[in-house]
Amino acid sequence: MRWTTQPCKSLNRSLAIPFDPCFGSHPSTSFSGRVAVVTGANKGIGLEICRQLSARGVTVVLTSRDEERGLAAVRKLEASGAADVVFHQLDVNKSASIASLGDFIHTRFGKLDILVNNAAIGGIASNTQLLDSSKQAMQPVSSSGLANAIVETYELAEDCINTNYYGPKRVTEAFIPLLQSSQSPRIVNVSSLYGKLQYIRSERIKEELRNVDTLSEDRLDQLVQAFMNDFKEGKLDQNVWPTRNMVAYKVAKVALSAYTRILAKRYPKFCINCVNPGFVKTDLNWNLGVLPVEEGAEGPVLLAILPDGSPSGLFYDLKEVSSFE
């Protein structure tokens, strides 16, 4: 990929590396510290990942699809004492936005050490009446109550697969050359317990996804496309896909898990893992989660700063290695 230069939206004065549009596709500096990009970092777990990485001396590119929300998030981190956090816009569904961020990183740092694919959506709409009545009664919503409170449509599912599976793929593919310029490249795919194979009902599909020695990226994309076709034609049950409670989210996260393993095999010098952050109180679950963001960010941060020689291609449940099953 040929990088070109883009203006920087940094608010951080301590990171005063000169920006010169004449540098074209050449990096303007050989940056010696570690640099991380965190997607979907204007709030929730992503914002906290930025805070914790910054506290560990990593220079963080906090990204957000919305410039105002992203800049406000950087201000918030700076006000709490975080150093070396810069903002750049990134919508993981827009190739031009990804390319623009790539230009920025190439020009400013010449490499990328850590990519945290955190951005995601639920792919659902809420039955707000049910959730409101539960909140008014000061009752936590049970998982079956939550399942009854959500609505899933084909359009929402399409958006979810696009953001939660193809989004990390787009960003990763674009940034592999920058990561290859790092001494210790790390990719962290923020997954979910729903990223485990147990949420796929079809034994045949499960077996295909399990076998990373035979599963190709093309085949993985075909399986995801087959899910979308079955969703459109009302054949989810017939073809043994998940049928309720965040079905597209589950398929996207299971596919992200399989993609993590494919990538780890393809790039043996990288550490590439996925992680369930836990049931964290954020907007994604209407703040019904139980863990604070501080705890939810710990697993992703641990994987982002793994020492050289650490395992790759694994699923972590919070901070512990778990199985893909």
Ligand X SMILES: NC(=O)c1ccc[n+]([C@@H]2O[C@H](COP(=O)([O-])OP(=O)(O)OC[C@H]3O[C@@H](n4cnc5c(N)ncnc54)[C@H](OP(=O)(O)O)[C@@H]3O)[C@@H](O)[C@H]2O)c1
- What is the rounded CA–CA span in Å between residue 270 and residue 113? 10
Q: Is the Cβ of residue 36 or residue 120 nearer to ligand X in the bound state?
A: 120
In 3D space, the residue among 184, 158, 59, 172 whose CA is nearest the CA of residue 117 turns out to be: 172
Of residues 58 and 116, the one with the C-beta less far from ligand X: 116
15/190 with CB nearer ligand X: 190
For the chain, helix, strand, coil in percent to 5 are: 45, 15, 40
Total binding residues toward ligand X, as defined by CB under 6 A: 32
Can you tell me which of 6, 34, 36, 43 binds ligand X, judged by CB under 6 A?
A: 43
By beta-carbon proximity to ligand X, the closer residue of 102 and 277 is: 277
In angstroms, what is the minimal distance from the CB of 47 to ligand X? Answer: 7
Q: Name the minimum Å distance from CB 98 to ligand X.
A: 10
**95 to 124, contacts with ligand X by CB under 6 A?**
118-121
The verdict on whether 249 is a catalytic residue reads yes
For 131, counting Cβ atoms within 10 Å of its Cβ (0-12 exposed, 13-18 middle, 19+ buried), the class is: middle
Mask: binding to ligand X, 212-251, rule CB under 6 A, as x and -?
----------------------------------------
Residues 6+ positions from 105 with CB-CB distance below 8 Å: 35, 37, 61, 111, 112, 175, 178
Give whichever of 28 and 38 is closer to ligand X, judged by the CB atom: 38
Smallest distance from ligand X to CB 77, Å:
14
Task: Return the sign of the alpha-carbon dihedral for residues 149, 191, 294, 179.
Answer: negative
10 binds ligand X (CB under 6 A): no
Residue 179: Cβ within 10 Å count: 22
Nearer to ligand X, 48 or 113 (CB): 48
Residue nearest to ligand X (CB): 44
Contact pattern for ligand X over residues 273 through 292, marking x by CB under 6 A? ---xx-xx-xxxx---x---
- Cα 325 to Cα 295: distance, rounded to the nearest angstrom: 24
Return d(Cα 70, Cα 63) in angstroms, integer: 6
Binding mask 163-192 for ligand X (x = CB under 6 A): x---x----------------------x-x
Nearest to 244 by CA among 130, 152, 120: 152
| Smallest distance, ligand X to C-beta of residue 97, A | 8
Instruction: Report the C-alpha gap between 86 and 41 in whole angstroms.
Output: 11
Select the residue interacting with ligand X from 12, 15, 59, 65 (CB under 6 A).
Answer: 65
Active-site choice (249, 259, 267, 316): 249
Contact flag: residue 86 with ligand X (CB under 6 A): no
Spell out the residues 6+ positions from residue 177 whose beta carbon is closer than 8 angstroms to its own: 1
**Cα distance between residue 228 and residue 236, in whole Å:** 9
Check residue 299 for interaction with ligand X (CB under 6 A). no
Q: Is the separation of the CB atoms in 283 and 43 below 8 Å?
A: yes
Return the active site residues.
249
Footprint on this chain of ligand X (rule: CB under 6 A): 39-40, 42-46, 64-66, 69, 90-93, 118-121, 163, 167, 190, 192, 276-277, 279-280, 282-285, 289
